[in-house]
Amino acid sequence: MMVAPVANGAAIAAHSSEGDLVKAEEAKQQANKDFKEKHYAKAVAGYTTALQYNPNSEILYSNRAFAHIRLENFGSAVADATKAVELNPRFAKGLYRRGDAYYALGKFKLALKDLKAAVRLTSKDPDLRRKLADCEKEVKRLRFEEALAVPEEIEVPVAQTIDLASMLVEESYTGPRMSGDNEKGYQLTLDFAKAMLEHFREQKSIHRRFAFQIILQAREILKALPSLVDVPVAQGGHITVCGDVHGQFYDLLNIFKLNGLPAEDSPYLFNGDFVDRGSFSLEVILTLLAFKVLYPQHMHLARGNHESKGMNKIYGFEGEVKHKYNAIMADLFRETFCWLPLAHVLDGRVLVVHGGLFSQDEVTLDDLRRIDRYREPPEEGLMCELLWSDPQASEGRSPSKRGVGVAFGPDVTRRFLAANKLDLLVRSHEVKDEGYEVDHDGYCVTVFSAPNYCDQMGNKGAFIRFNGGDMTPQFTTYTAVPHPDVKPMAYASAMGGIWGF
């Protein structure tokens, strides 16, 4: 039995007055312009205005979904694309948008269903067919991994399978060398770290022996830490907090130029999302781990939502590591990321987490300390929300625009801080035009340290300095610096090919 298709958006829009349709088209054209100029938040606002005048346009919902995808608000993108498909079940672009958003969330089976449906309607689009092929590969990979899965209790850690002694450093290797030799063992020094940074600046790799050693040593240090780390800040001392870096190595070098290298008298906390998106993620994470080994009490690293297996497969880090080294190193990073702490408390007064707060009240710092973090991030619960949640302007809580975590209001922040005798919440996880933003009456600060994110957002980067004693945040902002002509997502799976207008 054939079912007649729902009328398309143009027919339904007849319920809007002619004047309303004119206003909707004007708002749409301005939103399209904002989108093309990469002002994605303005584009969302523009499409929202257009929808107020023409609420039954599948094209407007689809366009707004596209802007949400660019903002990484994948939950909102799914909702908008779903509305577009409800208005017109044969609207291929709506199916594609929803499939793309599901793909970005790692929900490959749902993505595959939508992409197949879109291909049936628009079979000749090459970008859509490439995305479908990539999604099919991911679904096959998941089924293969499920078939070969080893029970967790008998799985051998990757770290235990690596034999550093067998990795000889050839005489022909001309890069920086750790002190010592293969027979007596190598030692990571500050001189090596500095030479490594210059080597990376020239787009060269260090020997795999040294790379593996950095990761293994850092893994052991991280493994010994609790899920919530208390960080003292002495009177007269300070600490610098950085947000997302996302593989932008040359901007990381600029942070060090502006603020100094990590050292005992120059401590840092990098608040997650070190990797993915940017195509120098390996250089970023090896740099941060090397300084963690050098200064374990003064270089602090928190887990972000992108320090996870699923994100790394989609957004480039796994592909980059395999390209520059091998799959074993990618597995070792996956294992090491599971040992990253989830939260830090500075001087007993400032909580620093990557994402934000929780879907329930009465969460305590001791609850965070008790989280069993050695796992891939779950889709709900305290660990998930620490990595994924975002603040909102309105009171209370709302479903997350990302499709994971929760949106929490000023009242939630105030209650949590008061109950845990804290002064301030610092988090990252979101691009901000100025590199930082102060919300919730001054009690919630977002810091983002990747300027001109993905070479397209035009935002500044920022870091925060807290001085011991008053612990008042002091912000430094900066713009992006030039980098070699390697595009973001160069090693990612096929995330491109999203349709234009």
Residue 317 CA to residue 308 CA, distance in Å, equals 10
Length of the chain: 501
Residue 259 CA to residue 261 CA, distance in Å, equals 7
CB distance 304 to 338 below 8 Å: no
- The structure tokens 């312009």 sit at 33
Residue 174 CA to residue 195 CA, distance in Å, equals 12
Apex CA 243: angle with CA 33 and CA 254, to 5°?
85
Residue 102 CA to residue 96 CA, distance in Å, equals 10
DSSP conformation class of 473 = -
- The structure tokens 């395999």 sit at 322
Phi, psi values for residue 267, rounded to 5° = -75, 150
Residue 85 CA to residue 81 CA, distance in Å, equals 6
Does the active-site annotation cover 300? no
- Choosing from 39, 68, 298, 306, the catalytic residue is 306
Apex CA 382: angle with CA 247 and CA 443, to 5°?
75
CA distances from 331 to 105, 157, 325, 360, 484 (A): 21, 9, 11, 34, 27
Residue 282 CA to residue 285 CA, distance in Å, equals 5
According to the 3-state scheme, what is the secondary structure of 404-435? Answer: CCEEECHHHHHHHHHHCCCCEEEECCCCCCCC
Residue 467 CA to residue 453 CA, distance in Å, equals 28
Nearest CA to 100 out of 86, 114, 88, 87 is that of: 114
Within its chain, how far is the Cα of 350 from the centroid? 22
Apex CA 304: angle with CA 298 and CA 306, to 5°?
130
Burial class (CB within 10 angstroms; exposed 0-12, middle 13-18, buried 19+) of 273: buried
Residues labelled catalytic: 306
